Structure 1
Amino acid sequence: MTTVGFIGLGIMGGPMAVNLIKAGHQVIGYDYSPARNEVLTQAGGQVASGIAELVQRADTVITMVRDSADVETVALGEQGILANARPGQLYIDMSSISPQTARQVAEAAKAHQVRVLDAPVSGGEAGAVEGTLSIMVGGEAADFEAALPIFEVVGATVVHVGPHGAGQTVKAANQLIVAGTIELVAEAIVFLEAYGVDTEAAVRVLAGGLAGNRILDRKAAGMLARQFQPGFRIDLHHKDMGIVTSAAREAGVVIPLGAAVAQLIAALKAQGDGGLDHTALLKLVEQLSGRAGA
């Protein structure tokens, strides 16, 4: 077992850090929120006074923060990870950021002889709690192998997908598919309700056929009940859709359906619904259909 420094103890990072503690790792955490730090302490972890202390005490450092700017600050800042890291230390960023930023961090780490992996995850809060996340990893194969004992605690599907930045590229594709699927499930639910169909029965049979997908399995019940407590917030999916639309443009790839869903997510955010779960796309479908509050 190893000492893991975990920066970012929010909806995803908190449960992941707790699972590492349960598996026998010593975890030193750091978050701007005292409440999140307290949860880690109650689970048996320790809390560092800052990034410098955390990095100096850890064998492996993990970040799970909001966006590319946060990763740049935490990793590349004057008092950040690389400034305090030891040669040979392993740094794993599990945030969802742009592939370009992931490559930038990896390049900067070379000067410090720090090994870097970009390892974003999919599976939402439930996957983080259950330790069943899908983890897509970019970086050197040897560093991936070294990190496997950690990945296998927090994830059920762990795949090395290529060089630095590849993990974030696959995550962008993941977010494109998830957003599009949620939108289609939302449209189907509003369509079924307009005809007075037993929607719970309809979801069961749809989930068993070719239309079956993880959104129907894990999210449809909450959508039917109009329960949009955040497992993954609209704000964050809006950020991720910005990443994928920008990356697609750079590659010369046309994503017309993805671009449309990105605009729908942006509309929800503009209406003040950024703190809701991304399944709140259902609200917008109802509004556009003139069925809000029906």
Structure 2
Amino acid sequence: MIVELNKEKTVIGLVGTGVMGKSMAGHFIKAGYEVHVYNRTKSKAEDLLEQGARWQDSPGELAKHCNVIITMVGFPSDVEEVYLGESGILRNAKPNSFLIDMTTSSPALAKKIYDAAREHQMVSLDAPVSGGDVGAKEARLSIMVGGDKEAFDAVLPLFEIIGKNIVYQGQAGAGQHTKMCNQIAIASNMIGVCEALVYAKKAGLDPTTVLKSIESGAAGSWSLSNLAPRIINDNFAPGFYVKHFIKDMGIALQAAEEMKLDMPGLSLAKSLYEQLAAIGEENSGTQALYKIIDK
């Protein structure tokens, strides 16, 4: 039996206040919720503390104070440590707590956490997001969710504070599998976006004017509309880190191999991004792929 959430009694904990988590926590604070935060680098949470968030010294300490715990960390290894480690969430959260991992992580790990949560009388959802830093800031993330439908229904009002396109995908792990589909589609598309801009430049065209013609037609995509302008303006700051995209592509390729699928476009994209990381661009935004294409 899943406990219904009452706004007055809902206390939200957010582990990971980086590019995405910081904006998400801010939206919950503005919506009137009590919010507790933890981040490995406390300075990244200072703005949230000034807004009224409460600091906790570990994921476990945070879990003791909250009944909805959201994680937005970097890698599957981080997710595993945050949930299953000695000072992790599962060892410290109260029964009937809602555990929501919004990191892009492994579908297999999502199922592992789901099973462990059930053993502790807790509810787990895997709910990775798409939309980047802009989507997080503007509270219009796409959220893809796996787990029990009853749990999804219970936390939907919270998802609606930070997102617009919120879809229940199925059982535990389904949210992560859906995010892999998202990353696979983006991977090859980013190659196309960068190649188109390089071609425009070499042909002596104004890339901004070219963009006006192609972004609203059949070539249109989120990456073309949102990241191509950044490339044109030499803005390679991260909305989403290169190193995290390489991680995502690795997860997708591993899952594809388990399903005996060949992914030539994804494999090519991953190899190009690994070249980009090798020249010191791992902390740049994914649009920095342009630097490899524009040789």
Shift of 1:53: 2.3
SS of the residue 1:92 aligns to: strand
Deviation digits for residues 135-166 of structure 1, max 9, x if unmatched? 00000000000111110001111000010001
SS of the residue 1:96 aligns to: coil
Structure 1 CA distance for aligned equivalents of residues 57 and 238 of structure 2? 29
1:207 aligns with 2:215: yes
Identify the residue that residue 40 of structure 2 maps to in structure 1. 32
Structure 1 CA distance for aligned equivalents of residues 51 and 69 of structure 2? 19
Identify the residue that residue 262 of structure 1 maps to in structure 2. 270
Shift of 1:9: 0.5
Identify the residue that residue 22 of structure 1 maps to in structure 2. 30
Please show how residues 36-115 of structure 1 align to structure 2 within 5 Å.
36-115=44-123
Identify the residue that residue 4 of structure 2 maps to in structure 1. none
Structure 2 CA distance for aligned equivalents of residues 277 and 219 of structure 1? 9
Shift of 1:51: 2.2
Shift of 1:49: 2.5
1:283 aligns with 2:291: yes
Structure 2 CA distance for aligned equivalents of residues 199 and 101 of structure 1? 42
Amino acid of the structure 2 residue aligned with 1:130: E
Structure 1 CA distance for aligned equivalents of residues 194 and 141 of structure 2? 24
- Equivalent of residue 244 in structure 1, options 249, 252, 267: 252
Please show how residues 148-187 of structure 1 align to structure 2 within 5 Å.
148-187=156-195
Query: Is the 2:67–2:93 Cα contact (8 Å) retained in structure 1?
Result: no
Identify the residue that residue 8 of structure 1 maps to in structure 2. 16
Query: Is the 2:58–2:87 Cα contact (8 Å) retained in structure 1?
Result: no
Structure 2 CA distance for aligned equivalents of residues 233 and 208 of structure 1? 26
SS of the residue 1:100 aligns to: helix
Structure 2: 5+ residue runs without aligned partners?
A: 1-6
Structure 2 CA distance for aligned equivalents of residues 208 and 178 of structure 1? 17
SS of the residue 1:81 aligns to: coil
Structure 2 CA distance for aligned equivalents of residues 208 and 86 of structure 1? 49
Shift of 1:174: 0.7
Amino acid of the structure 1 residue aligned with 2:212: R
Identify the residue that residue 119 of structure 1 maps to in structure 2. 127
Identify the residue that residue 290 of structure 1 maps to in structure 2. none
Alignment coverage as a number of residue pairs = 287
Identify the residue that residue 292 of structure 1 maps to in structure 2. none
> Identity percentage over the alignment?
39
Shift of 1:34: 1.8
Structure 2 CA distance for aligned equivalents of residues 82 and 208 of structure 1? 47
- Equivalent of residue 231 in structure 1, options 205, 221, 239: 239
SS of the residue 2:91 aligns to: helix
Structure 2 CA distance for aligned equivalents of residues 64 and 156 of structure 1? 18
Amino acid of the structure 1 residue aligned with 2:23: P
Deviation digits for residues 103-135 of structure 1, max 9, x if unmatched? 111111121011000000000011111100000
Structure 1 CA distance for aligned equivalents of residues 128 and 65 of structure 2? 24
Identify the residue that residue 253 of structure 1 maps to in structure 2. 261
